[in-house]
Amino acid sequence: HTFLDAMPKDSLKIFDINLRLHYYTKEVIEFSLEKAHILKINDEEVVKIAQLFGWEGTEKEICKQLLSKYQLDILILTKGTEGSWVLTPKEESFLPTPKITIADTVGAGDSFTAAFIASHLHGRCLVASHQLAVEVSAYVCQQHGAMPRLADAHLELFK
């Protein structure tokens, strides 16, 4: 709490929920959601959040509840091979996951989030930022290790 409370009001706060085993509580999640501007969540985590909060509905409905209840600016839902959603109060974007040969999925979610945020901060539209995130994440999945060097074509998009 201390760290988040010390952050300047105008700083961008991104919550990559990363629910692991029993290392979280409803109170910590709610506090973090209340402070966040952007939430990154995956399909397995949506199910856990719905159970924790006693909510029912589809993944997308649960995500829209999170977006509304916690006044998030953006919610990113990744669904592995099934694609991804990026939702705002006024827009939504769905993109399928490219058909690729997977070498290693470690770092896929983090690279997705980083690419989306970097593009978003450069002022690109929701769909363009989403597309870059999908491409970078797919590239990372085709490499071994969590932090491969990005291809020059991807690096150019960050300039």
Give per-residue pLDDT as tens, 29-56.
999 999 999 999 999 999 999 999 999 9
User: Looking at residue 126, what is its pLDDT?
Assistant: 98
User: Looking at residue 62, what is its pLDDT?
Assistant: 98
Distance CA 62, CA 83 (A): 17
Residues 66 and 48 sit within 8 Å (Cβ to Cβ): no
Residue 39: burial class (beta carbons within 10 Å; 0-12, 13-18, 19+):
buried
**Residue 150 confidence class, pLDDT cut points 50, 70, 90:** confident
Residues 105 and 145 sit within 8 Å (Cβ to Cβ): no
Q: What are the chain's domains? A: 1-96 (3.40.1190.20), 98-159 (no CATH)
Distance CA 128, CA 145 (A): 26
What is the mean pLDDT of the segment spanning 13-30? 90
Q: pLDDT digits over 41-94, tens only?
A: 999 999 999 999 999 999 999 999 999 999 999 999 999 999 999 999 999 999
Distance CA 136, CA 151 (A): 9
**Residue 133 confidence class, pLDDT cut points 50, 70, 90:** very high
